């Protein structure tokens, strides 16, 4: 099954013939095998696949969290491949936002302080108007003075979302962002992410194993054995689940 690669004129992130190999000899593991794809600006893309398919590795390579063995990764016009530590730091500070399964909030800081922490570390003053808009988007105006222990899981993840948004990154990478949330809080966060794309032009790339979560995206790409094997546009939970079953079928037969 060969995927149709999304080739759009304006890509927030792009992978060209990306290979990622861990180890050598008998211990060698090929996590990505010549992956080429683009992530269009202002779209919500989900990455899915069976366990060990390479979906998290692809996201980590795109975000500059892991290096590639061969190929090229580009984010917002910056070629990530070959950047030194200083260049990678600038990339993560200026062009990339992150939302993880673990909220990664500092317990001694208030919600507002957590949101502004990356800007403070970078020595950058927040745009007051944009900060107010972000807080309005995430619905946390009455929680800014609360510490993480005083917030629900869904509220903590919305703080993490606001922290990713406040620097206006080229692209936000979300790794299982609802993995630690109940279904109601998860739907809340996913709806927020979808609205950020549709109403504010944000670009989001999300790794998930959940067909329901993937249905919030504009597009879903599926990996198996380190390669993109197919994709869906305008996905529903049912079409995503059907596709995942087909990908899992060979392993079940074996």
Domain ranges of the chain: 96-168
Confidence of residue 233 (pLDDT cuts 50, 70, 90): very high
Q: What is the pLDDT of residue 172?
A: 94
**Average pLDDT, whole number, for the chain?**
89
For residue 17 the two structure tokens come to 């013939």
Residue 146 burial class via C-beta count within 10 angstroms: exposed 0-12, middle 13-18, buried 19 and up:
middle
Nearest-CA neighbor of 47 among 156, 205, 247? 205
Confidence of residue 182 (pLDDT cuts 50, 70, 90): confident
Read off the pTM. 0.87
Distance, first Cα to last Cα, the chain: 19
Place of tokens 């779209």: 43
CA 217, CA 61: separation in Å to the nearest integer?
21
Q: What is the pLDDT of residue 167?
A: 85
């Amino acid at each position: 099954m060969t995927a149709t690669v999304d080739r759009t004129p304006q890509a927030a992130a792009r992978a060209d013939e990306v290979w990622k190999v861990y180890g050598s000899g008998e211990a060698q593991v090929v996590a990505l095998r010549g992956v080429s794809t683009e992530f269009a600006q202002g779209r919500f893309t989900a990455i899915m696949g069976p366990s060990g398919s390479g979906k998290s590795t692809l996201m980590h390579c795109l975000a500059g969290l892991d290096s590639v063995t061969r190929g090229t990764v580009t984010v917002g016009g910056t070629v990530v491949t070959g950047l030194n530590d200083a260049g990678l730091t600038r990339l993560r500070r200026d062009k990339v936002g992150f939302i993880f399964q673990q909220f990664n909030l500092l317990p001694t800081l208030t919600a507002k302080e957590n949101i502004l922490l990356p800007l403070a570390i970078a020595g950058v003053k927040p745009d007051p108007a944009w900060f107010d808009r972000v807080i309005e988007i995430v619905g946390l105006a009455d929680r800014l003075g609360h510490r993480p222990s005083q917030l629900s899981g869904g509220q903590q993840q919305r703080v993490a979302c606001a922290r990713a948004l406040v620097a206006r990154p080229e692209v936000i990478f979300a790794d299982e962002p609802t993995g630690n949330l109940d279904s109601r809080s998860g739907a809340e966060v996913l709806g927020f992410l979808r609205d950020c794309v549709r109403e504010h032009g944000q670009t989001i790339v999300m790794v998930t194993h959940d067909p329901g979560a993937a249905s919030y995206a504009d597009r879903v790409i599926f990996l198996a054995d380190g390669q993109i094997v197919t994709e869906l546009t305008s996905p529903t939970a049912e079409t995503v689940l059907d596709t995942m079953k087909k990908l899992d079928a060979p392993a079940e037969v074996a």
